[in-house]
Amino acid sequence: MRAAPEVLGRELSVKLAAGKLGFTQHSHFTREFKEFYRITPSKFLALPHNEREELKFAARFSSTDGKTSWAGPVSPPTRQNVAHR
């Protein structure tokens, strides 16, 4: 699921991205994407580029079930506050 934003950003539709990622039904992809990233693929695509990058960065700190695996603040880390640690 971590590769999904990259594929999604290159495709013209959620349906095509889902197929490239091995999903036979885009509804299953949408459900999995939303569970992992807490946002639908369509809403992800509507985000400004910098917000997409922050979401992808934060996902690197998540476990495979989409639940955070770091201790600390409720919101995921950003590039800025990780760089200053």
Give yes or no for a contact between 29 and 40, defined as CB atoms under 8 angstroms apart: no
Instruction: Give pLDDT, residue 79.
Output: 55
User: Would you state the pLDDT for residue 37?
Assistant: 86
Q: Residue 65: its pLDDT value, please?
A: 53
Query: By the 8 A CB rule, do 41 and 11 touch?
Result: no
Q: Is the whole model's pTM more than 0.95, yes or no?
A: no
The boundaries of the domain holding residue 65 are 4-83
Burial annotation 60-81 (CB, 10 A radius, 16+ → b, else e): eebeeeeeeeeeeeeebbeeee
**Cα 85 from Cα 77, distance rounded (Å):** 11
Number of structural domains the chain divides into: 1
3-state class percentages of the chain: helix first, strand second, coil last, to nearest 5 = 55, 0, 40
How high is the pLDDT of residue 38? 87
pLDDT of the chain, 85 residues: tens digit per residue:
778 888 888 877 899 999 999 999 989 999 999 988 888 999 988 888 888 888 888 877 765 554 544 443 445 555 554 554 4
